[in-house]
Amino acid sequence: MISKKMQEAVANSSAIRAMFLEGKEMAAKVGVENVYDFSLGNPMTPVPAAYNQAIIDAVENENSLELHGYMDNAGYPETRKTVADNLNKRFGTEFEGKHIVMTVGAAGALNVVFKTILDPGDEVLALAPYFGEYRGYVANHQGILKEVTPDIETFQPDFHDFEQKITEKTRAVIINNPVNPTGVIYSEETIQKMAAILEKKEKEYGREIFMVSDEPYRELVYDGNQVPFLTKYYDNTFVTYSFSKSLSIPGERIGYIAVCPQMADCEQVCSGLSVANRMLGFVNAPSLMQKALVKAIDSTTDVAYYDRNRKLIYDKLTALGFECVKPQGAFYLFIKSPDAEEKKFVEEAKKYHILMVGGTTFACPGFVRLAYCVSYEMIERSLPAFEKLAKAYGLAGEK
Amino acid sequence: MISKKMQEAVANSSAIRAMFLEGKEMAAKVGVENVYDFSLGNPMTPVPAAYNQAIIDAVENENSLELHGYMDNAGYPETRKTVADNLNKRFGTEFEGKHIVMTVGAAGALNVVFKTILDPGDEVLALAPYFGEYRGYVANHQGILKEVTPDIETFQPDFHDFEQKITEKTRAVIINNPVNPTGVIYSEETIQKMAAILEKKEKEYGREIFMVSDEPYRELVYDGNQVPFLTKYYDNTFVTYSFSKSLSIPGERIGYIAVCPQMADCEQVCSGLSVANRMLGFVNAPSLMQKALVKAIDSTTDVAYYDRNRKLIYDKLTALGFECVKPQGAFYLFIKSPDAEEKKFVEEAKKYHILMVGGTTFACPGFVRLAYCVSYEMIERSLPAFEKLAKAYGLAGEK
């Protein structure tokens, strides 16, 4: 009954659901407190009170028809200006409201960008390991996703492979920064190198190649790290953002696209994004959430909460002999599987009631992702289980 | 810089924007009270107080992380059940929560349905005149839209043409009920005839053909008219809905898909819709709005307001000699252009500061659409202008 592509997508999706159900069954058997579910990347820290207050204020004081009404497909002018001003203040950029398109989250933003720039058969490079949903987003608009292999020591991209993969069909590179699933931040040096390669290739092929930066984790950074703001390094850049993580409101579907003011044909591109927002059926970002942002844009969730988790799990797991790059941002740990087949490792971990996701999902087999956006207490409780898991693989861990 | 398809879409969109700007210029010249803008289909009646109160209650009393958090891509179980129960109560249907997928408005719903059922090259029939955005929604998923001509006396479909247009490639028929732009309701008899033709063709071609009913105006009906609920007449039916008009909240992007429980492979189809919701970047319908619906699903806006407008504008314009079918629902009037070229009529009307949209946008040249979701006073003020317009065409109007 359903289309061929969707049959495949449903089958993949069933695997995730199967793990979810398995977790529930485990909990029923051994008690929910004895199941250590690190599989889901859901925000865990409280929604800032200022954001909830901004919602209530808007509903109580604004004209309802305007508050819940249609606006320009790109968003309310005051929201777009608020976002532009906020970025300029923090990153020294020069956005105006017209460079900002409010979207239905970052997932909406990426689809709007791809709809606007891709012709059928255009290629989009993704730097492995990457968020698996990108495959669907590119395919939705008849683009072809090509993978760039990582340097699996640092998880910065392999620049040689990056350059090799660019062809006359390459239209964009999608960059997730900080990276889900590794927690790595692509450094300023990395961005500069990539920008230089892209500029060279743009000239060689006589065609624009866009950087599309997906930054839902931009605010979740630790140890004083900074995420380079990409429009400062490369003109043909779209920055896509979601407030899902910074405000802990993933269900509300509110984000934006910031278009580099120096992009060629910037005005036409912005019109394209706005029209694509409508054509794809998003129409506009939810209006009440746009209005709340005007008052609460400076709010952020409690990043220290995730940092405390990060330190605990990273320190303990590496001490047990697990190998992984130290995360600088986001809320994930990407561990090298001690078994050549990561799938077997994922299964072995389940024996100790630890749930995690295989790296194959992120186009990086041989690794597993742990999401530490969980309670600190759950991590503490899980440590004896990890110890047993380490012993099962004969890792040289602490006593 | 932008894709070929989007260049075309931006050009079309500019025409709408041009009219909007023209209206603004007119207002600056002759005063906003002397411009009669009937071009936009935006809700005009107050948002029900119960809905706003439900939002405030949810923010004040519910756990913030759950309220604004991720849920199953199909929506919160209690919201899905609330919608199912509401439909069952009103239409005698037998939906369960699992048959409901909450969506980002009806535009989102239609895209999710088409993503789920269309393979490249599949054909979708649309009954002219139809909402122009359908073209984009079908093309997004590589479908091909084919138009069925109307009976332009009644604006019910021409059944002969309908049957002729169905081929082995036909995958769906999209039905807007009540119809934008005519205000006509497809009668029970029409639906039964179409269902019989589709069932015959399904057997002939050995393939399911879906009815996709787009019903954002379902609650806006007059003179005691009822919109037939399509799942009762044809098993392979999706009903898509938006609360934009019934609650006057078009900016919030909240709607749903109801899947006929008797649809073949119903469970697989529902899984497909849920996965498509995520893949397309909607992910889920905005969470706070879903929660508010649980409490406020029985609220509706003031339909009598639109009815009063309808009577005034229909009575006066027909008395002036303009020809149009009497609208039974929605908030549009579809007038026969007294000029063979509707474009000239639209231009002539502008001389009297009347703004309306040509029927070509709705695949029905020779007509124009007036949206009467405006203030009653504006309609009153516009009547002398319509009188002059009628005289300019020598219509046999009242003195």
Indicate whether B13 pLDDT > 90: no
* B59, B60, B61, B63: CA torsion to nearest 10: 50
CATH topology of domain A4-46+302-392: Aspartate Aminotransferase, domain 1 (3.90.1150)
Indicate whether A399 pLDDT > 70: no
* Pairing mode, strands B170-176 and A170-176: unpaired
Indicate whether B19 pLDDT > 90: no
CATH topology of domain B49-296: Aspartate Aminotransferase; domain 2 (3.40.640)
Report chain B residues whose CB lies below 8 A from the CB of A268: 1-2, 10
Q: Determine whether A190 is exposed, middle or buried from the number of CB atoms within 10 Å of its CB (0-12, 13-18, 19+).
A: buried
Overall average pLDDT of the B281-304 stretch: 96
- Summarize pLDDT for A227-260 with one digit per residue, the tens: 999 999 999 999 999 999 999 999 999 999 999 9
- Summarize pLDDT for A179-195 with one digit per residue, the tens: 999 999 999 999 999 99
Report chain B residues whose CB lies below 8 A from the CB of A257: none
Report the predicted TM-score, pTM, of the whole model to 2 decimal places: 0.97
Q: Determine whether B339 is exposed, middle or buried from the number of CB atoms within 10 Å of its CB (0-12, 13-18, 19+).
A: middle
* B272, B275, B276, B282: CA torsion to nearest 10: 150
Indicate whether B207 pLDDT > 80: yes
> Are the beta carbons of A59 and B60 separated by less than 8 Å?
no
Q: What is the CA radius of gyration of chain A?
A: 21
> Are the beta carbons of A116 and B142 separated by less than 8 Å?
no
User: Measured between CA atoms, how close is A389 to chain B, in angstroms?
Assistant: 31
CA separation, residue B239 to residues B163, B173, B258 (Å): 22, 12, 5
> Are the beta carbons of B133 and A47 separated by less than 8 Å?
no
Task: Note the pLDDT of residue B320.
Answer: 97
Closest CB to B2 among A2, A111, A268: A268
> Are the beta carbons of A272 and B5 separated by less than 8 Å?
no
Indicate whether B380 pLDDT > 70: yes
* Pairing mode, strands B170-176 and B123-127: parallel
Overall average pLDDT of the B260-277 stretch: 96
A393: helix, coil or strand? coil
CA distance A379 to A13: 27
User: Measured between CA atoms, how close is B275 to chain A, in angstroms?
Assistant: 6
Report chain A residues whose CB lies below 8 A from the CB of B269: 1-2
Indicate whether B399 pLDDT > 70: no
For B275, the closest chain A residue by CA position comes to A10
- CA angle at B322 for the pair B317 and B323, rounded to the nearest 5°: 115
- Summarize pLDDT for B23-77 with one digit per residue, the tens: 889 999 999 999 999 998 899 999 999 999 999 999 999 999 999 999 999 999 9
Strands (E), A224-263: 237-242, 255-259
Task: Note the pLDDT of residue A398.
Answer: 57
The H-or-E segment that residue A231 falls in is none
B282: helix, coil or strand? coil
CA distance A270 to B13: 13
CATH number corresponding to B4-47+301-392: 3.90.1150.10
* Mean pLDDT of the residues in chain B: 96
Domain limits, chain A: 4-46+302-392, 49-296
> Are the beta carbons of B110 and A281 separated by less than 8 Å?
yes
Report chain A residues whose CB lies below 8 A from the CB of B60: 56
Q: Determine whether B290 is exposed, middle or buried from the number of CB atoms within 10 Å of its CB (0-12, 13-18, 19+).
A: buried
For B266, the closest chain A residue by CA position comes to A1
> Are the beta carbons of B107 and A13 separated by less than 8 Å?
no
CA separation, residue B38 to residues A64, A281, B42, B372, B392 (Å): 22, 24, 10, 6, 19
DSSP-assigned letters across all residues of A47-96: PPHHHHHHHHHHHHHS-HHHHTS---TT--HHHHHHHHHHHHHHH-----
Q: Which residue of A3, A252, A295 is the best one to mutate when testing the B interface, meaning the one whose CB has the most B CBs within 10 A?
A: A3
Overall average pLDDT of the A43-50 stretch: 94
B327: helix, coil or strand? coil
